[in-house]
Amino acid sequence: MATFKDFRNKVKPNWCPGCGDFSVQAAIQRAAANVGLEPENLAVISGIGCSGRISGYINAYGLHGIHGRALPIAQGVKLANRDLTVIASGGDGDGFAIGMGHTVHAIRRNINITYIVMDNQIYGLTKGQTSPRSGEGFKTKSTPEGSIESTLSPLEVAIAAGATFVAQSFSSDLKQLTSLIEQGIQHEGFSLINVFSPCVTFNKVNTYDWFKENIINLDTVEGYDPTNRLAAMTKLMETGSMITGLIYQNKEKKSYENLVHGFSQEPLAHQSLALSQADFDNLVAEFR
Ligand SMILES: Cc1ncc(C[n+]2csc(CCOP(=O)(O)OP(=O)(O)O)c2C)c(N)n1
Ligand code: SF4
């Protein structure tokens, strides 16, 4: 049986020392081993950004895709081979700015993949511009007088869009993060896990200490019921989304693969896709 070490490869991450993304990498490797996967059972598909490099740092199938397009690629992989566990990953710019349309539709589609967003509330790779997750008044080179736009609350959007699994964690809490990724992988549908993953180089506001002071861990909130959609939305709105843990899960809704008409139980990846000579001749005849 594989251990987390089997999900390591020889590529040395070029993230800045202290970047929150190191913990996300470690948590994915641990969670994959803990749920009994082998490297050949896993595909990690990422977008573009510092966080997007993660697919290159994990020993599994992987694809470092296009900015904002991790989810279309990941959904294609899952539909072609439902036997693979598919993790999509990227930054808050990737998933909640340029890729937000894909995020909303993947959520409502409820396709069985796990989407891990490394939310540092800034664009890291391009040297620190304001993202939709930056706070109002946040000053960067792209908003020198402070951001005048409302901060996006993607987890509220997710619940409104019909999400069946919504969780949030923090890079400093490897135990909780690993457990939530395990639960996300085991969830039969789309799981969204937003991770507060500090950018130590460009974001001097939302630091490790700032998150520690502002986060409420739902594990410490007595009586919180993650199956109650309205309570989940209320908690997000009350706290400005500064909660970690399993926020909402609906185990009743079937995943996309189980609903789509005619979808074969046998993965496309294992089927012969060649046309028979007779089918080919008929097709050509239609265009004569
Ligand atoms: C289509 C397209 N638009 C813009 C860019 C430039 N770009 C690369 S990464 C990035 C944003 C990075 O921020 P985020 O997704 O939050 O990831 P982080 O680097 O913070 O991990 C942008 C705007 C690009 N590569 N492709
Ligand atoms: S710039 Fe920020 S997000 Fe990018 S590797 Fe460095 S600390 Fe991480």
Instruction: Name 196's bridge partners.
Output: 119, 170
Q: 131 CB less than 6 Å from ligand 1?
A: yes
Which pLDDT belongs to residue 261? 78
| pLDDT per residue as tens, the chain (288 positions) | 999 999 999 999 999 999 999 999 999 999 999 999 999 999 999 999 999 999 999 999 999 999 999 999 999 999 999 999 999 999 999 999 999 999 999 999 999 999 999 999 999 999 999 999 999 999 999 999 999 999 999 999 999 999 999 999 999 999 999 999 999 999 999 999 999 999 999 999 999 999 999 999 999 999 999 999 999 999 999 999 999 999 999 999 999 988 987 777 788 888 888 899 999 999 999 999
| Reported CATH class of domain 4-285 | alpha beta
Task: State phi, psi for 129 to the nearest 5 degrees.
Answer: -95, 165
Q: How far is the CA of 257 from the centre of ligand 2 (A)?
A: 36
Sheet holding 165-170, edge to edge: 61-64, 42-46, 85-91, 114-119, 191-196, 165-170, 243-249, 216-217
Whether ligand 2 lies within 6 angstroms of the CB of 19 is answered as yes
Query: How many other C-beta atoms are found inside a 10 Å radius of the C-beta of residue 279?
Result: 10
pTM of the full structure: 0.96
- Which residue in 49, 212, 210, 22 sits closest to 129, CA to CA? 49
Q: How far apart are the first and last CA of the chain?
A: 56
In one letter, which amino acid is 92? D
Residue to mutate (ligand 1; options 23, 54, 89, 94; most atoms within 8 A of CB): 94
In the block, residue with structure tokens 């937003």: 194
Domain boundaries defined on the chain: 4-285
Q: Which atom of ligand 1 is nearest to the CA of 97?
A: 15
- Residues whose CB is less than 8 angstroms from the CB of residue 90 and which lie 6 or more positions away in sequence, other chains included: 46, 47, 48, 49, 51, 52, 68, 70, 99, 117, 118
Tokens of 1: 């049986």
Is the CB of residue 50 below 6 angstroms from any atom belonging to ligand 2?
A: yes
Q: Which amino acid is at 232?
A: A
Q: Is the CB of 67 under 6 A from ligand 1?
A: yes
Give pLDDT, residue 143.
Answer: 98
CA distances from 202 to 152, 162, 213, 272 (A): 20, 34, 20, 50
The residue whose CA is least distant from atom 4 of ligand 1 is: 67
199 CA to centre of ligand 2 in angstroms: 5
Q: Is the CB of 185 under 6 A from ligand 1?
A: no
| DSSP letter for each residue of 53-116 | GGGGGSSSEEEE--TT-HHHHHHHHHHH-TTSEEEEEEEHHIIIIITHHHHHHHHHHT-S-EEE
Look at residue 268 in the predicted model and tell me its pLDDT. 83
Structure tokens at 12: 């040395």
Strands 85-91 and 114-119: parallel
Nearest ligand by distance to the CA of 127: 2
User: Does 195 contact ligand 1 (Cβ within 6 A)?
Assistant: no
**CB neighbours of residue 258 within 10 Å:** 14
Strand residues in the chain grouped as ranges (E): 42-46, 61-64, 85-91, 114-119, 165-170, 191-196, 216-217, 243-249
Query: If you take atom 22 of ligand 1, which residue's CA is the nearest one?
Result: 126
Burial of 242 (C-beta count, 10 Å sphere; 0-12/13-18/19+) = middle
